Structure 1
């Protein structure tokens, strides 16, 4: 079994020790490095090329959101999962815009965190339920007016349908089942959507779907 390498970045040593214990207890995960601030996280990531970075949002020297943006620009194959003590909506939204694949708060159980880690490594978007609900209320139900984006006009009807499902958090297998299509076909649609919209990954596609009002509660 191939182990996924995890870099832990948190300013508190006790938190890093605890997270290392949880991650290293799994046969398919291993901690390959630790960092106490954002600058160190970026430097270690560039050296170690982890599969996933477990990142606190509030860090000294360079905050976790800015560190995430730099990491995703330099290492697009590396996933970032924000695990923070601050669950403010602005942090969650900024994290997704920066390219994070998930946002959890530190009252998350070890079991839930491991589910999120593996989900992120599969390419899914993992957001704490309480945060997801508030983001939907704020950015989808009308508290923030949808943005017009002419890039959506380049999508076919099927691609727009796939984008909506991506925005709702479905992975490729789930989308394929819902649309009665093959998973390979869905992967092709997603790749074309990213190319047409000039965005780097499906996380950015989720953000765009929210901003443009494509996703609606229960839709």
Structure 2
């Protein structure tokens, strides 16, 4: 059986050597080329068209997601496994949105890495089990927060308008000048809003806005900011 050829993209030379040795010992895969930069990766893939790419996201010259995207443009069907130290959800989703077939943490056991490669070759998505647990946990937390957030129906149209501006980061003076009302009136509206929603600060309101439907807070007004520096 012909071994699947792998392009290894990793700027840490010791880790790259270790991965190369481990993979070359496997019966089904072989390291066709190993490089340390994004430019080298693009050059190698352009010439050799490997079957699988193990790609670090933090490269010294080109962001890993850009390398991923450019390789996808060269060959849409190549299998790309992101191998990185980052367990941040934003990194995970960004990599997947750019076309990664798998996302594996550095330091994972060899079986997990080989399983990710096999999943990718089978056109299945693979995420390290630890990361999958974190993603599910965070989703459940966000969902609970969304369900627990009081509805906006009790707010007046003007209060909803001010909520939208607060969420967008407007200051009290900016809101007052744009709506042609006094800062004192803005502060009164703000106090009423916090009381009706059962929250203690505008920071809670900004955080909670992540879970609010747009139609509950979007008044449709296009207001011009004044650039005031007063804080809410």
Structural mapping, 1:1-219, within 5 Å: 1-138=1-138, 142-143=142-143
How many aligned residue pairs are there? 145
Where in structure 1 do 4 or more consecutive aligned residues deviate above 3 Å? Answer: 136-145
Distance 2:140 2:47 in 1: 39
Task: Answer with 134-143 or 122-131: which moved more.
Answer: 134-143
Displacement, 1:31? 0.7
2:57 and 2:30 mapped to 1: Cα distance?
A: 22
Identify the structure with bigger relative contact order (alpha carbons < 8 Å, sequence gap 6+).
Answer: 1
Distance (Å, rounded) in 1 between the aligned partners of 2:81 and 2:11: 16
* 3-state SS, counterpart of residue 81 of structure 1: strand
Distance 1:78 1:35 in 2: 17
Q: Deviations over 1:2-25 (max 9, x none)?
A: 210100000011111111111111
More displaced 10-residue stretch of structure 1: 91-100 or 37-46: 37-46
1:133 is displaced (CA, Å) by: 2.3
CA positional deviation for 1:135: 2.5
Deviation at 1:130, TM superposition (A): 2.0
- For the residues of structure 1 that align with 2:20 and 2:91, how far apart are their CA atoms? 24
Structure 1 unpaired stretches of 5+: 146-219
The CA deviation at 1:113 is 1.0
The answer on whether the counterparts of 1:38 and 1:62 sit within 8 Å (CA) in structure 2 is yes
- Report if aligned partners of 2:52, 2:81 keep a CA contact under 8 Å in 1: yes
Distance apart, 1:47 and its partner CA:
1.1
- Corresponding residue for 2:217? none
C-alpha contact (below 8 Å) 1:46/1:75 kept by paired residues: no
Structure 2 unmatched ranges of 5 or more: 147-232
* Aligned position for 2:157: none
Deviation at 1:124, TM superposition (A): 1.3
2:32 counterpart SS class:
strand
Deviation of residue 140 (structure 1)? 7.2
Cα-Cα RMSD:
1.8
Alpha-carbon distance in structure 2 between the residues aligned to 1:78 and 1:140: 33
Partner SS state of residue 80, structure 1: strand
Q: Provide, for residues 109-146 of structure 1, a one-character-per-residue CA deviation record: whole Å limited to 9, x for no partner.
A: 1122111112211111110112222333445775598x
Instruction: For 2:137 and 2:42, locate their aligned partners in 1 and report how far apart those are by CA, in whole Å.
Output: 33
